Amino acid sequence: NESQASITVMTSLLEPIMILFMGLVVGFIVVSILLPIFEMNQLVR
C-alpha cells in the first residue's frame, strides 16, 4: 500500500515536469523552423 502511495506521488510530480519538457521540445522545434524563415526574409531585403 505504501509503495502504491509513493508511486502516485511520483507520477503526480512527474506529470507537470513532463508537460514542461514537452512544451520546451515543441518550442525548440517551432524556433528551429521559424529562424531560417526569418533569416531568408532578411536576405531577400
Q: 1-45 pLDDT, tens per residue?
A: 889 999 999 999 999 999 999 999 999 999 999 999 989 888 887
Give residue 21's domain range.
1-45
| Amino acid 43: pLDDT | 85
d(CA 11, CA 14): 5
d(CA 39, CA 17): 33
| Amino acid 26: pLDDT | 98
Query: In total, how many domains does the chain have?
Result: 1
